[in-house]
Amino acid sequence: MTVSLKDIEVGTELPSQTFQIERESMIRYAGASGDFNQIHWDEAFAVGVGLPNVIAHGMLTMAVAARIVTDWIGDPGAILDYGVRFTRPVVVEATAPTQLEVTGKVRAMDAEAATAVVDISASVNGETVLARARATVRLPRG
């Protein structure tokens, strides 16, 4: 879905999405990022350090949540700035993918600069996993 500047105003809600995070995506992310911390793949180790199970990489969760913006705007390169605060780990069971539920809403706009600030909410089973998630995006002028 691609949007244009004329279609957006403060309060515009992005189409909500649910993304799956599964063990396979965590393995791929570990390989790409070089982050092989055992809490992301070894259940016994993760439980041994007090976690309920293995957890997704924070940066993987952050990237997956940003897809709500990139899918909406139609251009991954349009994100100018993006930041989050991690509030709780995303536990990923071996038997089923974890469902990351993501919503977004335009918080502010600068029509002259053709940019928007989007607040993003991300949760798993109704519990917030990212707080203060906010992206500034360049909007298509067409």
Domain 5-21+57-138 falls under CATH 3.10.129.10 = yes
* 20 and 97 Cβ atoms separated by less than 8 Å: yes
| Domain layout of the chain by residue ranges | 5-21+57-138
Query: pLDDT, tens digit, for every residue of 106-135?
Result: 999 998 999 999 999 999 999 999 999 999
Placement of tokens 């969760």 in the chain: 61
Percent pLDDT > 90 in the chain is 92
Residues 90 and 80: their CA atoms lie apart, in Å, by: 26
pLDDT at 44 > cutoff 60: yes
pLDDT at 6 > cutoff 80: no
Task: State pTM to two decimals.
Answer: 0.91
For the residues 61-69, what does the mean pLDDT come to? Answer: 97
